[in-house]
Chains A and B, each alone.
Chain A
Amino acid sequence: MALEFNAEYKKQVDWTLSRYPKKEAAMLPVLHLAQYQFGYISTEVMELVAKTLDVPVSRVQDVVTFYSMFREQPVGKYHIQVCHTLACAINGGAQVVKYLEEKCGVKANEGISADGKFSILRVECLGSCSTSPMMQVNDDYYENLTKARIDELVEKWKKE
């Protein structure tokens, strides 16, 4: 069955469309909304976005495959993205990834942990260079990371 935006997201989609002179320009914001509702951008989601914006599905796929934030696979409940570009790298970025891998029971860039809670990605610069090392978990930034801080966060998330 074809997917639809739920009432809450439909409202946001309609408002978004009203802000641009051309429907197609709402591509990125509508894809973001779709990813929030459906978790990832499947072929069915691309079809929904194409229908919403009046463009061919191939145009949507063209965009989805270009931008790193749009994902075509599901991720963990806590999707952890660790910056590994220079400012973070020289302050322990790689060690942060290694430590998270041990704590969360999943390797970076290798899918979701067995409990479905965690996925880890190494990503390029997140623009938080003066608070390195840092990571983004879902929408939120966690900065100036230490082992103690990661212990505290991961323990909390494991209980939730």
Chain B
Amino acid sequence: MEKVLTKMVGIENSRNIDVYLKSGGYQALPKALKMTPDQLVGMMKDAGVRGRGGAGFPTGMKWSFLPKDNPNPRYLLCNADESEPGTCKDRVLMEEDPHQVIEGLAISSFAIQAHTCYIYIRGEYVNGAQVLNKAIQEAYDKGYLGKNILGSGFDLDITVHRGAGAYICGEETGLIESLEGKRGWPRIKPPFPAVYGVFGSPTIVNNVETLVTPVHIINRGIQWWKDNEPKLYCMSGHLNRPGVFEAKIGINLKDLIYGDDYSQGIAKGRKLKAVIPGGSSVPVLKADECDVAMDFDALAKAGSALGSAGCMVMDETTCMVNALWNLIKFYAHESCGQCTPCREGGHWMEMVLGRIETGRGRMEDLDLMLETANNIAGRTICPLGDALAWPIAGMPDKNKGGDLSGNSFVTKFRDEFEYHITNKKCKVTIPHEWN
């Protein structure tokens, strides 16, 4: 398959503006500047682009929420916090092809008529920030950024803003608070950022991969996009060839795991046990549930989610109790502390899982976890509470009046949890060696 998003990966000096120009870069921007902002928003709607950061919200619709009559300046915030465990795709775009990102940001900024754009990049991506800064300077020098871009009369400044190691700043209102120089404490919505965002101004927050999509829709057309929509998948865990792969959205999960062009199967010839398909907050799939299309709707139907397409693959050496404990420790650590269900619930779930893992568990702990997860999900300002609850107890289920379905770690691998509690040891006996 022809690579679109990752076309530049592996090309020598792919970060250099001349190399990007030679391979057809910055051709969409002049076309965009000749369109009207409304046409661009309509284009995103017609193409059906959905946010790549996790929630899958329609991008064109988000952009159209900006109030027409608000006199304050508008802002575009590029969410490059990439902190959902299992996700490492935006790093590839930023580090290998920064000009694609800049071109996408310039087009998107024009579409929403923002003259200031910040790239909020996670603090640990020092290299990514340096690469972007260098590329931004090149773009200023060549007139793709700054005043009167390509003679269009449109001005745009882009600034790279480094975070400082807080998962919660990937949540759009947490990101906004953090950008304002505060703790990344998410805000209650409404008002939504489109109305009252950073510095009290109308603001759009989108993921990096989302913001590069208009480049390709302009270059290749809406119909092409609909027929070939490319998506990045981050494959990690017990694989022969882990990595970030580009594929048409909706590729079968089995093809990603076993395909020659992708991860080439489970390492060391072992058996597949489970997959978390969309970043650590989405419900886990058992090996026999992996014949599923990797798109928003199919995964939702399968009781999980595409999320950020961070796909963690676990083989038979993985203890499911330990794996869930690991994830819940992450969420307990990263809770911002504002809402009681998430702050306290996360901590208690970590303790309960810890006691099961270390042989001090009680059988009633399993239902206690499912019940507690239900009391966390949907009861917090931001989705971190949900992200903590879903791996334990699955996604909300309409048939259960919005309660969590139960279809995740604790239910799907209940035998392993029970074995731990009864036998005070792990059911998995194959060790994982590291050398």
Contacts and interface: CB of A to CB of B under 8 A. Distances in A.
Interface of A: 19-22, 24-29, 31-32, 53, 55, 62-63, 66-70, 84-87, 89-92, 95-96, 123-133, 136, 139-141, 146-147
Given A86-B326, A95-B434, A126-B124, 12 more contacts: A24-B182, A29-B161, A55-B181, A84-B326, A86-B327, A87-B236, A90-B323, A91-B238, A91-B434, A125-B330, A129-B310, A136-B124
Contact of B165 (A20, A27, A67, A92): A67
B167 A124 contact: yes
B124 A32 contact: no
Given A32-B123, A127-B124, A90 B318 contact: yes
A92 B180 CA distance: 38
B435 A90 contact: no
A129 B179 CA distance: 26
B183 A63 contact: yes
A130 B242 contact: yes
A131 B235 CA distance: 9
Contacts of A96: 434
B242 A131 contact: yes
Given A31-B164, A129-B234, A86 B126 contact: no
A132 B181 contact: no
Which of A24, A67, A70, A147 is packed against the most chain B CB atoms within 10 Å?
A67
B432 A129 contact: no
Interface residue tally on B, bucketed by range: 35 or more
Contacts of A139: 126-127
Given A129-B312, A132-B242, A28 B432 contact: no
Which of A21, A28, A133 is packed against the most chain B CB atoms within 10 Å?
A28
A129 B123 contact: no
A20 B333 CA distance: 30
Contact of B330 (A28, A53, A124, A140): A124
B386 interface: no
Which of A21, A55, A84 is packed against the most chain B CB atoms within 10 Å?
A21
B51 interface: no
Nearest to B239: A130
Contacts of B181: 22, 24-28, 53, 55, 63
B199 interface: yes
A139 B126 CA distance: 6
A51 B132 CA distance: 29
B85 A129 contact: yes
Contacts of A85: 85, 280, 326-327, 330
B163 interface: yes
A53 B318 CA distance: 49
A36 B275 CA distance: 40
A62 B237 contact: no
B342 to A, nearest CB: 15
B99 interface: no
